[in-house]
């Protein structure tokens, strides 16, 4: 059996949504979407906007259980 987890807003893939995720996305706002920053597009609409920040903010402190 393979266990897999997904956490909306965890853009740095640390298994938790934190201020670091919010900061990373904030730094990319209004930038073109690239292979380096696509994880910051949390709502997958093709643009880095304040809506992405809002999703991360609403998920702050959530984390995946230990593997």
Task: Give tens-digit pLDDT for 10-60.
Answer: 999 999 999 999 999 999 999 999 999 999 999 999 999 999 999 999 999
- Beta bridge partner(s), residue 16: 63
Whether the pLDDT of residue 3 is over 80: the answer is no
User: Per-domain residue ranges for the chain?
Assistant: 1-62
- Look up tokens 């298994």; give the residue: 15
Q: Which CATH architecture has domain 1-62?
A: Orthogonal Bundle (1.10)
Q: Number of C-alpha atoms within 13 angstroms, CB side, residue 20?
A: 8
At 66 the pLDDT is 83
At 5 the pLDDT is 83
- Cα 5 to its chain centre, rounded Å, is 14
DSSP string, 17-59: --HHHHHHHHHHTTSPP-TTTGGG-TT-SSS--HHHHHHHHHT
Q: What is the pTM of this model?
A: 0.89
At 27 the pLDDT is 96
């Amino acid at each position: 059996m393979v266990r897999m987890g997904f956490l909306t807003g965890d853009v740095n893939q640390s298994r938790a949504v934190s201020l670091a995720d919010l900061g990373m996305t904030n730094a990319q706002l209004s930038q073109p979407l690239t292979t380096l920053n696509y994880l910051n597009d949390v709502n997958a609409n093709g643009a880095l906007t304040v809506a992405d920040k809002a999703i991360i903010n609403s998920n702050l402190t959530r984390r995946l259980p230990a593997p």
